[in-house]
Amino acid sequence: MLRRPFIAAAALALAAVAPTPSFAQDPWPSKPVKLISPFPAGGTSDVMARMIAEALTKELGQQFVVDNVGGAGGTIGTLRAAKATPDGYTIVQTGVGQNAVAHGLDPKLQYDSMRDFVHLAQVHTGPNVLVVHPGTPFKTFKELVEYVRKNPGKLNYGYTHAASGHMAMELLKQRASECPKGVKDCNGFFMVGIPYRGGGPMLQDLLGGQFPLMFINQDVALPHVKAGKLRALAVTSLQRNALYPDVPTIAESGFPGFQALSWSGISAIKGTPQPIVDKLEAALRKVMTSPEIKQRLESVGFVVPPPGAAAYTQFVKSELDLWTKVIKTAGIKPE
């Protein structure tokens, strides 16, 4: 007589501890994942985001969709990501502008690049190239440096506010203003900057000879250098770039350790469950070490960075510290 109540009670007890299908956690990803790219479509950042979204879609079997949220140098989209639900269905493209330069420009930035994100993988690095109009007399980087030191204020350069080329020029001005070893008195390194609202109009004016020089991303500069419309004097990476094998680095031209890079990576939102973080990092590591991605990046002069979250996290921190110091020294303010 007691058998049936006992069985019923045991069944209820098991039901209380066993997960039911309606409450079971779905394996991630079970629906499309949004990748916020904090810049408009069409630029280098967008190209990199779409390349990674396509690769992750193939690797993880679920759609990764790029959401372009541009504005304010990438900070609008990055802030939106920082406030997103940390469930693994929103990830963000991080980069030099929004996650390093922005902190130098705005000490009260509404997000913290080291505390609000989990940096998973760096996607690319690329140097800027110091280019001059072929009508100038400068054939080498050293000739340019010597001229500027002897003729402060007589050369103009173009820049777009807070872009990687602008930062490269500010770093060069600060490093070159230091007196060379053994020289007690020098004239610094002063040139007049001409601000532009966008890289396109600036490049056209340089090609037209409206000003003599600027820093520009290596992939954008290449066709004009090959056509003889621009002359490349130096690159801003520590090693020479494969697309510019005969162009010296600034680091080897009298400024040891000089490095100013354009870069991007992929980050999760702080609080994303660790199993999802681990799965994303593993997928990104596999993607970034694939021959296909390596070939795509290197064909346009980008460098494939060391894989993994630890390397990327350390790199972001070093870049944040570098550009915050450069911006503070230069006195650059937000537009």
Is pLDDT above 90 for 168?
yes
Give the confidence band of 22 by pLDDT, cuts at 50, 70, 90. very low
247 or 44, greater pLDDT: 247
pTM, to two decimals? 0.88
Q: Cα separation of 186 and 172, whole Å?
A: 16
CATH code of the domain occupying 127-235: 3.40.190.10
Bridge partners of residue 213, in order along the sequence: 132, 157
**29 CA to centre of own chain:** 26
pLDDT in the model for residue 198: 86
Taking only the tens place, the pLDDT of each residue in 116-155 is 999 999 999 999 999 999 999 999 999 999 999 999 999 9
Taking only the tens place, the pLDDT of each residue in 83-120 is 999 999 999 999 999 999 999 999 899 999 999 999 99
**Same CATH fold assignment for domains 33-126+263-330 and 127-235:** yes
Average model confidence (pLDDT) across the chain: 91
DSSP per-residue string spanning 111-169: S-TTTSEEEEEEEEEEEEEEEE-TTSS--SHHHHHHHHHHSTT--EEEEETTSHHHHHH
Give the confidence band of 186 by pLDDT, cuts at 50, 70, 90. low
pLDDT in the model for residue 178: 82
pLDDT in the model for residue 16: 44
134 or 200, greater pLDDT: 134
Q: What is the mean pLDDT of residues 10-17?
A: 43
Q: Any idea what DSSP says for residue 22? A: T
Is pLDDT above 70 for 18?
no
Is pLDDT above 50 for 3?
no
44 or 157, greater pLDDT: 157
Lowest-pLDDT choice from 22-26, 255-259, 301-305, 313-317: 22-26
Question: Domain boundaries in the chain?
Answer: 33-126+263-330, 127-235
Provide the residue type at 273 as one letter: P
pLDDT in the model for residue 277: 98
The CATH superfamily assigned to 33-126+263-330 is Bordetella uptake gene, domain 1 (3.40.190.150)
